[in-house]
A and B are shown apart, each in its own frame.
Chain A
C-alpha cells in the first residue's frame, strides 16, 4: 500500500475532485525538486551505515554504504521496553504523524498515532522508517550510487520484504533497542510486521498485523504487473534512466497509481462516493474528458501521487511484495514459520477488502493456532475496502487499543502519563 495523503480522514468525506489551480507540469517541477532533495537529504532523522556494516540482501548483494531515514515520536523509557515500530505500506513513508515535507499534508496514520489514539506518544516510543528501496530518504533506486556518482536507477539490487526488515533491525540496533514492544503495520506494513516476528521472534513482544497476508496472491501480483507495465510503457521512463535526464515518467506512474487505487477501495465505497455523477456538468461531452466524478477523482489521485513518488521505487517495492511468501521460505508449511514463537499476535481484516481478503488472514490465524502461538483475530465490518485501515474506523481502533493496552500491561508498561 501507499500512503493515503489523498485520503486522510478529513478529505474522505469531501470529494477530492477539484482541479488544482496550478497546471500539473508546473507543480511537478517544483515538487520534483523537493522530492529529489528528500531522496538523499531527508528532512527526518537518518541512520548512516558505512561499508563496514553492509545490508545483506536476499538477492546475494551486500549493499553498502546505505542509509535509513526515520521518524520517532515519544520517548524511550529507562528499560527500553516501550518501543513500537510502525511499518508503512507500499508507497507510505516515515511521516506517520507529522506534516509531510513534500506534500504538506498530515501524517498518513494520524488516526492511529497521536495523543488519545491507540498509539499514544506519551506511552510509547514510536519509530517509523522509510523502507529500503523507498524514495523518502532511505537508500533506493532514486538515491545516488556512491560508486558512480549517478542515480542508482535499475542498477539498484532487487529488494525483498525480508531485506526491508533486516535493514529495520539494523536501525533498531543502532537505536540501542533490543526488544520491540510491538511491530505494527497494515498491508505491506503488515507483511513486514509478520516477517519481523518470523525473523526475530525474541525481539518482538507483540505483533499487530492489519489487512495483510503471509504471501502476495496471484491476483495481487497481476495488479502490480499492470502498474509496472504502465510505468515502463511511458517513453519518459527510458529503461529506468530518466533521472539523469531530469525527467520523470509521470504519465505511466499516474496510470499505475490509478489502477492500484481502485484495488484499495470497494465497489460499494466508490458507488457511495461517486455513483455515476458527472463532474461540473450535466450532460456528457461525448469525448474522453473526465465527465464522471470518479474519473476526475482517479486523475487527481494519479497526479498527486507522481508529485511525491519515484517511478523506479514503485517498481522495486511492488516487486518486493510480489516475492513475499512466508510459507515458501519454510517448505510450504506456514505453521512451521511460527513454531515456538512467544509473541502475542493480533490480526485484523476488513469485510470489504478484496486485495487482502479475510480468508488470507484466517489462513494466517489457523497457522498461528496450529503452531500454538498466542493469537487474536477480528474481522471488522466495513464497506470501505482495503483502505479501511487508514481511515477513521472506530471498531478497528477499539481492537487495536484493546490489544496494545493488554499487551502493555503484560509488558509492565505504565499507563498513559498523567492518566
Chain B
C-alpha cells in the first residue's frame, strides 16, 4: 500500500461554517474545487450539499428517503429520490467533476459496482465510511461477543440499513483491486478530527473511526 497520505487542514472556512457544519462535511467540502459540479449520493437532509452550494459549487443529490428529498427540496437543493445501487447506471460518463458517497457505502448492496460507477460518472470520487476496524468496535466483538453498536452506528444487527461494513484496510484493498488511484486518505477519530499523518496504516485502521478518501481514475496503462 503505497499511496500518498495527507491530511487536509480545515482552513478556508469561516468560523461560522466551522460551527454550523459537521467536521467530516467540512473536510469533504475542502477537497472539492470551487466552481465544480458535484453529485452527492445518499445526501440525507442535504447538509453537505448546502455547504457545497454556499461555496460556489454546483451540487446535485440522490437520496433514498422521501423525507430526505423533502428536506433538501425545501432548502432549494436539486435532489432526486433514488437508489445508489440501481440508479447510477443511468447517469452518463463524466457527468460530474466529483461524486461524493458520504457514509453510504456500507448500505449499498454492491459496493464494488457502486465505486466503479462513481469514477465513471465523476472525474473524482470522495468516499467516507465508518471504519469497522475501529478499536471500540473490535473490542465490543472481542470482549462483549456481540455485534458492535456505537453512537454513529446505533442499529441492531437485525434492523440496520448497513449491510456491507468494511475496514479502512479492506477499502484500500478494494481500491487497489479495481485500479483506483488514491489521491488523499484521511482517518478521523471519534470526534471527527483527522488523525496524524505520519502514522502507519494499521494505526489508522485501529484508531480511525471513519475513513475519508479522495479517489481518481487510474491513468490508463499505468
- Knowing that A366-B91, A375-B78, A405-B74 touch, tell me 9 more A-B residue pairs with CB under 8 angstroms: A346-B73, A362-B87, A376-B73, A377-B80, A378-B66, A378-B70, A379-B81, A398-B70, A399-B73
Q: Once bound together, how far apart are the Cα atoms of A376 and B91, in whole Å?
A: 15
Interface of A is mostly: helix
Range class of the B interface residue count = 20 to 34
User: Total A-B pairs in contact (CB under 8 Å)?
Assistant: 68
Kindly state whether residue B79 has any CB partner on chain A within 8 Å. yes
- The reply to whether A370 and B95 form a contact with Cβ atoms under 8 Å apart is yes
Checking B70, B74, B92 against A370 with a beta-carbon cut-off of 8 angstroms, the contacting residue is B92
- The reply to whether B73 and A366 form a contact with Cβ atoms under 8 Å apart is no
Q: Once bound together, how far apart are the Cα atoms of A376 and B95, in whole Å?
A: 17
- The reply to whether B81 and A402 form a contact with Cβ atoms under 8 Å apart is no
Checking B70, B77, B78, B92 against A399 with a beta-carbon cut-off of 8 angstroms, the contacting residue is B70
- The reply to whether A377 and B91 form a contact with Cβ atoms under 8 Å apart is no
Asked if A402 meets B78 with Cβ closer than 8 Å, knowing A370-B91, A380-B66, the reply is no
Within 8 A of A (CB), among B149-191: none
Please give me the residue from chain B that is nearest to A345 by CB atom: B78
Residues of A within 8 A of B38 (CB): none
Kindly state whether residue B90 has any CB partner on chain A within 8 Å. yes
Kindly state whether residue A191 has any CB partner on chain B within 8 Å. no
Q: Once bound together, how far apart are the Cα atoms of A374 and B66, in whole Å?
A: 18
Kindly state whether residue B23 has any CB partner on chain A within 8 Å. no
Kindly state whether residue B69 has any CB partner on chain A within 8 Å. yes
Chain B 55-72 per-residue mask, 1 if CB under 8 angstroms from chain A, else 0: 000001000001001101
Residues of A within 8 A of B90 (CB): 362, 366, 369-370
Kindly state whether residue B144 has any CB partner on chain A within 8 Å. no
Q: Once bound together, how far apart are the Cα atoms of A410 and B77, in whole Å?
A: 11
Chain B 32-55 per-residue mask, 1 if CB under 8 angstroms from chain A, else 0: 000001000000000000000000
Asked if A402 meets B70 with Cβ closer than 8 Å, knowing A376-B79, A378-B81, the reply is yes
A212–chain B nearest beta-carbon distance, Å: 16
Residues of A within 8 A of B79 (CB): 376-377
Q: Once bound together, how far apart are the Cα atoms of A372 and B37, in whole Å?
A: 9
Residues of B within 8 A of A392 (CB): none
Q: Name the residue among B37, B72, B78, B87 with the largest chain A CB count within 10 angstroms.
A: B78
- The reply to whether A344 and B66 form a contact with Cβ atoms under 8 Å apart is no
24 pairs, CB–CB < 8 Å, chain A vs chain B: A346-B73, A366-B87, A366-B91, A369-B60, A369-B91, A369-B95, A370-B90, A370-B91, A372-B37, A375-B60, A375-B78, A376-B77, A376-B80, A378-B66, A378-B73, A379-B81, A395-B66, A395-B70, A398-B70, A402-B74, A405-B74, A406-B77, A407-B76, A410-B76
Q: Once bound together, how far apart are the Cα atoms of A378 and B91, in whole Å?
A: 18
Residues of B within 8 A of A378 (CB): 66, 69-70, 73, 81
Q: Once bound together, how far apart are the Cα atoms of A347 and B119, in whole Å?
A: 27
- The reply to whether A365 and B66 form a contact with Cβ atoms under 8 Å apart is no
Kindly state whether residue B22 has any CB partner on chain A within 8 Å. no
Asked if A369 meets B74 with Cβ closer than 8 Å, knowing A377-B69, A381-B66, the reply is no
Please give me the residue from chain A that is nearest to B61 by CB atom: A376
Kindly state whether residue B196 has any CB partner on chain A within 8 Å. no
Within 8 A of A (CB), among B2-56: 37
B89–chain A nearest beta-carbon distance, Å: 9
- The reply to whether A372 and B95 form a contact with Cβ atoms under 8 Å apart is yes
- The reply to whether A344 and B70 form a contact with Cβ atoms under 8 Å apart is no
A395–chain B nearest beta-carbon distance, Å: 7
Q: Once bound together, how far apart are the Cα atoms of A366 and B86, in whole Å?
A: 12
What are the 7 closest A-B residue pairs judged by CB atoms, nearest first?
A406-B76, A402-B74, A366-B90, A377-B80, A402-B73, A374-B78, A378-B69
- The reply to whether B66 and A406 form a contact with Cβ atoms under 8 Å apart is no
Kindly state whether residue A242 has any CB partner on chain B within 8 Å. no
Kindly state whether residue B109 has any CB partner on chain A within 8 Å. no
Residues of A within 8 A of B148 (CB): none
Kindly state whether residue A323 has any CB partner on chain B within 8 Å. no
Residues of B within 8 A of A381 (CB): 66
Residues of A within 8 A of B60 (CB): 369, 374-375
Residues of A within 8 A of B76 (CB): 406-407, 409-410
Q: Once bound together, how far apart are the Cα atoms of A362 and B79, in whole Å?
A: 13
Kindly state whether residue A403 has any CB partner on chain B within 8 Å. yes
- The reply to whether A406 and B73 form a contact with Cβ atoms under 8 Å apart is yes
Chain A 351-383 per-residue mask, 1 if CB under 8 angstroms from chain B, else 0: 000000000001001100110101111111100
Q: Once bound together, how far apart are the Cα atoms of A335 and B66, in whole Å?
A: 25
Residues of A within 8 A of B81 (CB): 377-379
A246–chain B nearest beta-carbon distance, Å: 52
Within 8 A of A (CB), among B86-142: 87, 90-92, 95
Q: Name the residue among A335, A365, A407 with the largest chain B CB count within 10 angstroms.
A: A365
Q: Once bound together, how far apart are the Cα atoms of A219 and B70, in whole Å?
A: 32
Asked if A369 meets B80 with Cβ closer than 8 Å, knowing A378-B66, A381-B66, the reply is yes
Residues of B within 8 A of A379 (CB): 66, 81
- The reply to whether B73 and A375 form a contact with Cβ atoms under 8 Å apart is no
Residues of A within 8 A of B37 (CB): 372
Q: Once bound together, how far apart are the Cα atoms of A409 and B77, in whole Å?
A: 12
Q: Once bound together, how far apart are the Cα atoms of A381 and B78, in whole Å?
A: 20
Please give me the residue from chain A that is nearest to B63 by CB atom: A378
- The reply to whether A406 and B95 form a contact with Cβ atoms under 8 Å apart is no
A80–chain B nearest beta-carbon distance, Å: 22
Residues of A within 8 A of B77 (CB): 376, 406
Q: Name the residue among B74, B76, B95 with the largest chain A CB count within 10 angstroms.
A: B76
Kindly state whether residue B75 has any CB partner on chain A within 8 Å. yes
Q: Once bound together, how far apart are the Cα atoms of A380 and B92, in whole Å?
A: 26
Residues of B within 8 A of A398 (CB): 70
